Amino acid sequence: MQPVTSINGAVPRWWDDGAAVRFVADLVAAELARLRPGTALPALPWPRSCDLARDLGVDSLERMALASALSAALQLHRAGAGDALAAGQTIGAWADAASAGLALHSHEITFRTSGSAGQPKPCPHTLASLWAEVGELAALLPGHARILCAVPCHHIYGFLFSILLPRALGLHPDAVRDVRAASPGMLAREARAGDLVVAYPDYWRAALAAGPFAPGVTGVTSTAPCPPGLAQDLEAHGLARLLQVYGSSETGGVGWRDSHAQPFTALPYWRRDPDDAAVLLRSGAGAGSYPLQDVLAWQGERQFLPAGRIDQAVQVGGINVFPERVAQVLRAHPAVAAASVRLMRSDEGSRLKAFVVPHAGAQSPQLLGAELRQWAAARLSGPELPAAIAIGAELPRSASGKLADWIIDAA
């Protein structure tokens, strides 16, 4: 491949060189995890030969749901690829069907994220607008020999950095490595000068335990705010640079920064809406208005800092989760009278925690806690599962009566 010199050139056939296999496998894995909460799947990446029925246990109803999700993501129905999906038995066959459909129609791709009710929400983007973003990212990240990616490529973050960015940088397909099956510690030891590591704050935190990075390793982090202390620790452990990218599935990348001490700089095609603080305006490819998921505190016209979620989502392992949805699942248990769920304090961990008030006459706290964990595992995804469940006579509240935080050990 040759490096891209202009973001105005033709958008590449991103599905070539094995990228379609990675995209299909990641999407199928995510959909199966949603359809089967708590069920273990084979570790990614999956080979072309991975059989939907034999290796993944996909039944006819799941197959229909998976095909529908893939078609919606890649707009395959517009290219008449439904029959090829119906006939395909392996990840490779589905990737071939997707590639054939994309060769006829690749104008738009739809990513999904959780909406305010915790349900999957479609976020369509034109391929031209994504390619324009990658042109800006490539200018910020020149000269890398490999991309080590710890995020799925069917999410917008992984798609931009592990599928489109390598093409913009002129990298060979073999230069992109999926490192999710490797421990973060092993990644920190094996990364070498010229590598670009694409991850999220929880992954970076785990990588610190392996000791210093080799000189010349660059990191990218997104999907959740990167705590200032973590950024400082990564620098102290030898990471040459940590590019923090702010954005969402709805908007794509909005801004970037190299230091936690600096505000984010908006990418050049974004500007604030003077009439609505909850909206961003985009020019060029993908032009239009985009609702924000965060309140942004602007410093002039080009720089900003996020100032809190609008939709009350929190992030666990780089995934948006909604504590109120988790609380609703716990309240549905017949022994539960009330429940409150929130993100752990920084000294407690980085998962969700729950406080439950049982109905009078319920079983012992120990038995109820064990039963609630099974109840939750059957109904929630891994990131949504509370890592700690406290049981008490009443929910913690402040002096004014509002729901309050609690310390796990003191619950």
Q: Mind giving me the DSSP string for 221-254? A: E-SS---HHHHHHHHHTT-SEEEEEEEETTTEEE
Inform me whether the pLDDT recorded for 32 exceeds 60.
yes
Inform me whether the pLDDT recorded for 224 exceeds 80.
yes
Poorest-confidence range of 3-7, 53-57, 262-266, 379-383?
A: 3-7
- pLDDT for the residue numbered 119: 62
- pLDDT for the residue numbered 400: 60
Q: Indicate the average pLDDT of the chain.
A: 90
Residue 131, CA atoms < 13 Å, CB-side half-sphere: 21
Which residue in 344, 274, 338, 292 sits closest to 314, CA to CA? Answer: 344
Q: What is the mean pLDDT of residues 32-36?
A: 90
Question: Cβ atoms within 10 A of the Cβ of 255, count?
Answer: 21
pLDDT in tens, 164-200: 999 999 999 999 999 998 888 888 778 999 999 999 9
User: Higher pLDDT residue, 398 or 89?
Assistant: 89
- pLDDT for the residue numbered 116: 42
User: Higher pLDDT residue, 162 or 113?
Assistant: 162
Q: What is the mean pLDDT of residues 150-167?
A: 96
- Alpha carbon distance 391, 78 (integer Å): 52
Inform me whether the pLDDT recorded for 144 exceeds 90.
yes
Judge whether 334 and 352 are in contact, CB under 8 Å. no
Which residue in 135, 70, 65 sits closest to 97, CA to CA? Answer: 70
Give the pLDDT band (50/70/90) at residue 99. Answer: very high
Inform me whether the pLDDT recorded for 387 exceeds 80.
yes
Question: Cβ atoms within 10 A of the Cβ of 107, count?
Answer: 11
Give the pLDDT band (50/70/90) at residue 66. Answer: very high
Q: Using the Cα atoms of residue 271, residue 276, residue 280 and residue 282 in order, give the sign of their dihedral.
A: negative
- pLDDT for the residue numbered 114: 57
Q: What percent of the chain is predicted at pLDDT more than 90? A: 69
Tokens 């989502």 appear where? 313
- pLDDT for the residue numbered 307: 84
pTM of the predicted protein model:
0.82
Exposed, middle or buried: residue 101 (CB in 10 Å: 0-12, 13-18, 19+)? buried
- pLDDT for the residue numbered 79: 84
Give the pLDDT band (50/70/90) at residue 311. Answer: confident
Poorest-confidence range of 41-45, 79-83, 188-192, 399-403?
A: 399-403
> Rg of the chain over CA atoms, in angstroms?
22
Give the pLDDT band (50/70/90) at residue 26. Answer: very high
Inform me whether the pLDDT recorded for 8 exceeds 90.
no
Q: Which amino acid is at 24?
A: V
- Alpha carbon distance 227, 367 (integer Å): 37
